[in-house]
Structure 1
Amino acid sequence: MMLIESDFSLLVIFRFDFCTIDSEKRPSENLGQVLFGERIEPSPYKFEFKKKQECKHVCTKAYDTTNAQDKGRLDFLKKGMLLNYQHHWIVDNMPVTWCYDVEDGQKFCNPGFPIGCYVNEAGRPKDACVVNSEFNDKDTFYFFNHVDITIHYHVVENEGTGARLVAAKMEPKSYKHSKVEAPDCTGGPMDLSNKFSGEFKIAYTYSVQFVEDKNIRWASRWDYILESMPHTNIQWFSIMNSLVIVLFLSGMVAMIMLRTLHKDIARYNQIDSVMERKLTEFGWKLVHGDVFRPPRKGMLLSVFLGSGTQIFLMTFVTLFFACLGFLSPANRGALMTCAVVLWVLLGTPAGYVAARFYKSFGGEKWKTNVLLTCFLCPGVVFADFFVMNLILWGEGSSAAMPFGTLVAILALWFCISVPLTFIGAYFGFKKTHPVRTNQIPRQIPEQSFYTKPLPGIVMGGILPFGCIFIQLFFILNSIWSHQMYYMFGFLFLVFIILVITCSEATILLCYFHLCAEDYHWQWRSFLTSGFTAVYFLIYAIHYFFSKLQITGLASTILYFGYTMIMALIFFLFTGTIGFFACFWFVTKIYSVVKVD
């Protein structure tokens, strides 16, 4: 049996009026598949192993443009072809791929094929219409109503007649069958003029053949799909570009730490006289009595740090498992399921970090702190997601999450994550932070333009974003263009580079601000690296207008709603990295300075 996977969109397979089967139950999906909208429908395309079939009739769809309902269904199909909507089929958990030649003699295998294509009024074929020279009528739609499916298998040794499927390939075709009720896969392409009116019938057919392939192993059956995606060279270019930035920042930080600070601190500590030491104080030494002063809105900062720590650990562990091969594309929905489960189980570190820093900031409202850590950031994400789900429900989309799944997510949140956060907060509040600060805050001198908060924050996010924007393109393609993402080794390496870049860029700017006698580093360090999320948001807007063909208000709201969720998570993630880097830097340099 073949399964049909509906695309992540506002449209379900039934509204496209394709051939369906109601006698079979829908296959169950895991949490990750439901969250990503990867809903699977049973298919009427059926075949038996090693049984060849030619021009097998599936169903016939009839339309009458004088009937408003039929005309609406036909117009819906036309709109889908204009937007290049695609079928996604699965056989034995393998995607049915359409392989075709591209430039330089390479072959590209697409895990999907279009429902049809369109030749515009100027006679220019769009999208898949370029594959057939017979598609040449102006202002005409062509339906891919026939597929030639080839199943590749190999016989399993020492298991008798057992065999395993190692590849499933297909070729979409268009036939205007001479006999619609008894299709024979002859005639020209199945076309429909945009100005057509009257009765119109589409017969859907398929052919199947089985080919034994002894060269493809079971463990390597996904390789022909993944290797056809020519992304590796671009990925290496991105990695090298990012490494150059990291080496530059590392050199700057090393120069500051080893040459400037080390010599400065050693010379300063060698002076025994208090008066002489005060005379030699300048720049960052002058604020040693104020640098650990609690920041404004310390409650909110500690909550952000707790949530950011939870996201950081979740991302690190998920990518680590993905690099080991546990979360490959063959395990559908495993990546998202793993991320959600890890986030739920990592409530303890979130509560611990939030409580510990809140107490170090002099906070006393520990109950409010714990509750905000449990509900503020997760609540914003869930509220946004719930609104998006309401829109999907209203549009009748297959990507809408069922009510039972929403209840299950709330149960995981309230029954597991929240208690674990309270446990972490309990241990966090038991820690003490004896910090010595001056009773009277030191006056901050007039700052130059580049040491003011806003310019520093804006500049701080440029370099981290420069390290990830190429990888970001492939991730957005995977999410919105239904392309497979499998290069988790590259992604994990870029993740490490992003952590290093955010840390080093924030430390550099923090050092410059301390030298300018500005000791308000806590919020600034968080926002400096967190501003990378703003560049991510700008890039996502550019991607929307330049790469996607999304029409309709509901689809646009969905795109930006989910993008805002990703931007918030990215903001907390990068902001937490920057804060911890600066916290380590400030603690390190001021712990070795003698304070009298």
Structure 2
Amino acid sequence: MMSAISLNIGSLLAFIICGIGNILFRSTLANNVYKNGEKVILYVNKVGPYSNPQETYHYYHLPVCRPLEVVHKKLSLAELMNGDRMAESIYNISFRVDTPKTALCNKFQYKASELISMLRAIEANYYFEFIIDNIILRNFLGNVEEISIFPHKHKVFLFTHHHFIFEYNNEEIVHAKILIDRERPHRIDNAFENNLPVDVTFTYSVEWKESKVRRSQADIVHDSFFPKSFEIHWLSVINSSLLVFLLLAFVVLIMIRIIRSDLSKYNFGNEKEANDFDDHGWKVIHGDVFRSPKYLNMLCAILGVGVQLLTITATILLIVLFSLIDEHTHGLINVAALVLYALTSGIAGYVSSSMYKKLGGERWIFNINLTFGLFSVPTFMVWSIENSISWAYKSTQALPYQTVVLLLALWTLIGYPLTVVGGVLGKNFPHGFCDVKNDVAAYRVRQIPRELPSALGFYHSPLAYGFVGGFLSFRSTGFFVLTYALFFYCQRSQMSGFFQTSQFFGYVFLVCYGFFISLGTVSFFASWKFVQYIYSNIKTE
């Protein structure tokens, strides 16, 4: 009976994983080859303000030339997560066939409402994005020319001609770019003065060039349209690492001298000195230091999720470092993180339950559920708010309901069962995670907790100790990242508007929350091993 249930569960998980893989790699792994004269489909994707990376809308959201029936491309999960909404365009492009200046459609007559929509888009510095054979093309809809500051006047121009340049190697497209005609744009702001409809003719041209670069060697997705500020500066990383290790070495040397001095007095000093240290030294709390904390479930859940997040981070860094996936491909890293989060849920359950057993916990079901929801529930709540805002703004960042169902299935049918399995293993087989010889059971814990002085000021409270002790290290890094994000938003970026602000700070909060949990886990285990070491080397009665 149990084997049949296990087989059914395994088959279900395999089916879900295969389905996710099919959706994930449906189009990201496509590598098209073309014959001479074969039609190449150009997809229009999205538009949005240049300064607001997350504020994107469908290209046909604007009044532009479009087909009679809009045909959308089937997208992978990675592309949907990236906010892509590709639709076939009416550009007639054939492989290795140059096209002179050609009208895209009949004269496009702008109504007053359509003209206002296009005018506002250009004033907001909107860019557009096309995709051909998984190569991204971006440029601006138009530009604004300032006339005077006071009174403020400006001219608004619409770019009406697109020139495509494609580079090919044998049967493959290896590079592409789109140029706009800045010399002869169409002015549209003066139409309100004449109170007449505006007729605009959109044109395009195509140029093909031979290249010796193979597609596998070309960085076909990377472009320089957006400023790139995330390149790794290895020299700075090495300098920072050396500084950290140097400071760490100094602290370790100081701590070793202090601990050795105290241990020699505790273990080899005369009786009078030992009694004096018993009254006021750190030995005095040896019977309480390993007592289970008050909020044991929360502590163990934080440790489990922290180890899980550290595992995900390390795995993604290794994947990118060894170029196992193309980090530029339409949000592939985002989907990799989601899949890894589900698959590593067992690690969170195992670590949490192992520590829970060591510290004498008894509410196992609550511990497993808390571990599962500690990070996923806040993430789901933030995403729900942001996705609702995206729906209200009709942005492409809003996920379709089919994708939402898929992600919920990934979360509940893979993540939760693995958390339960990890929790059961951690409860019954904790020895693989921690050293039993140096476990809590090896130390005596007083049956009656030591009474703490009640006349001390607020600066002796647990909250004050926690704030001072962790202000410059470990989980406090999450607060520093949040502070810098606020500084970056106000002083470094040009982001604006409620939509972009909510998107930015909503997901920055989740990143900082992840820092808070994962680095707090590092600090706990470092402190745990340190306290175990010093108290295992003193003589107790």
Work out whether the TM-score is over 0.5: yes
The more displaced of 327-336 and 20-29 is 20-29
In structure 2, do the counterparts of structure 1 residues 150 and 590 end up closer, same or farther at CA, with 3 Å as the change threshold? same
Distance 1:575 1:76, change over 3 A: farther
Instruction: Sort the Cα spacing of 1:303 and 1:550 in 2 relative to 1 into closer, same or farther, 3 A.
Output: same
What is the root-mean-square deviation of aligned Cα atoms in Å?
Answer: 3.2
Equivalent of 1:4, from 44, 51, 69? 44
| Equivalence for 1:543 | 488
1:83 and 1:549 in contact (8 A); partners too: no
Could you tell me which of 75, 84, 92 is aligned with 1:46? 92
The whole-number CA distance in structure 1 between the counterparts of 2:406 and 2:252 is: 49
Q: Which amino acid aligns with 2:132?
A: V
What is the distance in 2 between the residues matched to 1:370 and 1:89? 46
CA contact (8 A) 1:63 1:74 kept: no
Single out whichever of 340-349 and 20-29 deviates more from structure 2. 20-29
Contact map agreement 2:277 2:283 (CA 8 A) in 1: no
Q: CA deviation at 1:447?
A: 8.3
Separation of aligned partners in 2, 1:303 and 1:407: 26
SS in structure 2 of the partner of residue 557 of structure 1: helix
Cα 1:591–1:18 change in 2 (3 A) is farther
The aligned runs of 1:299-448 (5 Å cut-off) are 299-430=297-428, 431=430, 433-434=440-441, 435-438=443-446, 439-441=448-450, 443=452
Q: Report the number of matched residues.
A: 478
Contact 2:159 2:186 (C-alpha < 8 Å) held by counterparts:
yes
139, 159, 173: which one pairs with 1:165?
A: 173
Residues 266 and 277, structure 2, Cα contact 8 Å, conserved in 1: yes
Q: Is the 8 A contact 2:222 2:328 kept in 1?
A: no
Distance 1:174 1:264, change over 3 A: same
Instruction: Measure how far apart 1:400 and its partner are.
Output: 1.0
TM-score by length of 1: 0.72
8 A Cα contact 2:165 2:178, kept in partner: yes
Indicate conservation of the 8 Å contact 1:153/1:165, yes or no.
Answer: yes
Task: Find the counterpart in structure 1 of residue 519 from structure 2.
Answer: 574
Residue identity opposite 2:177 in structure 1: K
Q: Give the letter aligned to residue 170 of structure 1.
A: I
Q: 1:151–1:168: 8 Å Cα contact kept in structure 2? A: yes
Q: 2:67 aligns to what?
A: 21
The superposition leaves residues 448-484 of structure 1 with CA deviations (integer Å, 9 ceiling, x where unpaired) of 969985476368455xxxxxxxxxxxxxxxxxxxxxx
Q: 1:62 to 1:148 in 2, by over 3 A?
A: closer
- 1:135-146 → structure 2 map (5 Å cutoff): 139-146=154-161
SS of the aligned residue for 1:113 comes to: strand
Match of residue 93, structure 1, among 112, 118, 134:
134
Match of 1:292 in 2: 290
Quote the offset at 1:53 in angstroms.
0.6
SS in 1 for 2:368: helix
1:143-292 equivalent positions in 2, closer than 5 A: 143-155=158-170, 163-174=171-182, 188-193=184-189, 196=193, 197-214=195-212, 216-222=213-219, 225=222, 235-236=233-234, 238-240=236-238, 242-266=240-264, 268-271=266-269, 276-281=273-278, 283-292=281-290
C-alpha change, 1:173 and 1:459, in structure 2 (3 Å) is farther
**Residues 347 and 420, structure 1, Cα contact 8 Å, conserved in 2:** yes
Q: CA deviation at 1:22?
A: 5.6
Q: CA deviation at 1:140?
A: 0.6
Partners in 1 of 2:471 and 2:133 — Cα distance? 45
- One-letter amino acid of the structure 1 residue matched with residue 467 of structure 2: I
Over 3 Å counting, the alpha-carbon distance change for 1:582 and 1:152 in structure 2 is: same
How many percent identity over aligned positions? Answer: 27
How far apart in 1 are the matches of 2:222 and 2:328? 11
Q: What per-residue deviation string (whole Å, max 9, x for no partner) do you get for residues 540-561 of structure 1?
A: 2222233444444344333332
Per mean C-alpha deviation after superposition, the further-off stretch among 166-175 and 541-550 is: 541-550
Is the Cα contact below 8 Å between 1:461 and 1:535 reproduced in 2?
no
**1:588 CA displacement:** 2.6
Letter aligned with residue 141 of structure 1: V
Q: Which amino acid in 2 is paired with 1:21?
A: P
Alignment partner of 1:167: what SS?
strand
Q: Does structure 1 retain, via aligned residues, the 8 Å contact 2:349–2:423?
A: yes
Report the CA distance between 1:579 and its aligned residue: 1.8
Shift of residue 411, structure 1, vs aligned partner: 1.2
Deviation, structure 1 residue 299:
1.5
Letter in structure 1 aligned against 2:121: G
Query: 2:117: which partner in 1?
Result: 76
Question: Does the residue aligned with 2:205 lie in a helix, a strand or coil?
Answer: strand
CA contact (8 A) 2:470 2:476 kept: yes
Residue 337 of structure 2 aligns with an amino acid whose one-letter code is A
The residue that corresponds to 1:457 in the other structure is 467
What whole-Å deviation, never above 9, does each CA across 1:317-341 have from its counterpart, x for those lacking one? 1221111112323533321111111
* Mapped partners of 1:397, 1:61: distance in 2: 28
Change in CA separation of 1:322 and 1:233 when aligned onto 2, cut-off 3 Å = closer
CA 459–429 in structure 1, closer or farther in 2 if over 3 Å, else same: closer
- One-letter amino acid of the structure 2 residue matched with residue 235 of structure 1: H
The alpha-carbon distance between structure 1 residues 140 and 226, as it changes in their structure 2 partners (threshold 3 A), is: closer
| CA deviation vs aligned residue, 1:332-359 (integer Å, no higher than 9, x gap) | 3321111111110111111112222233
Residue equivalent to 1:179: none
- 1:562-585 deviation per Cα after TM superposition (whole angstroms, max 9, x unaligned): 332223223222222222222222
Question: SS state of the match for residue 209, structure 2?
Answer: strand
Which amino acid in 2 is paired with 1:118?
Answer: V
Gaps of 5+ in 2: 1-40, 48-53, 431-435
Amino acid at match of 1:457: F
SS class of match (1:420): helix
CA contact (8 A) 1:50 1:210 kept: yes
Q: Is the 8 A contact 1:6 1:38 kept in 2?
A: yes
CA distance in 1, matches of 2:452, 2:412: 46
Distance 1:78 1:578 in 2: 54
What is the alpha-carbon distance in structure 2 between the residues aligned to residue 377 and residue 572 of structure 1?
A: 9
**Helix, strand or coil: the match of 2:66?**
coil
Contact kept? 2:265, 2:273, Cα under 8 Å: no
CA contact (8 A) 2:308 2:348 kept: yes
In 2, are the aligned partners of 1:149 and 1:207 still within 8 Å (CA)? yes
Which whole-Å CA distance do the structure 2 matches of 1:290 and 1:416 have between them?
40
The equivalent of 2:478 in structure 1 is 533
Q: 1:119 aligns with which of 137, 145, 148?
A: 145
1:386 to 1:451, Cα distance in 2 relative to 1, 3 A:
closer
Residues 265 and 274, structure 2, Cα contact 8 Å, conserved in 1: no
Aligned match of 1:514: none
Measured after TM superposition, the shift of residue 201 of structure 1 is: 2.2
Q: Aligned letter for 1:42?
A: E
Structure 2-normalised TM-score? 0.79
> Secondary structure of the equivalent of 1:119?
strand
Deviation at 1:208, TM superposition (A): 1.0
- In structure 2, distance between residues paired with 1:233 and 1:420: 36
Aligned mates of 1:447, 1:327 — CA distance in 2 = 56
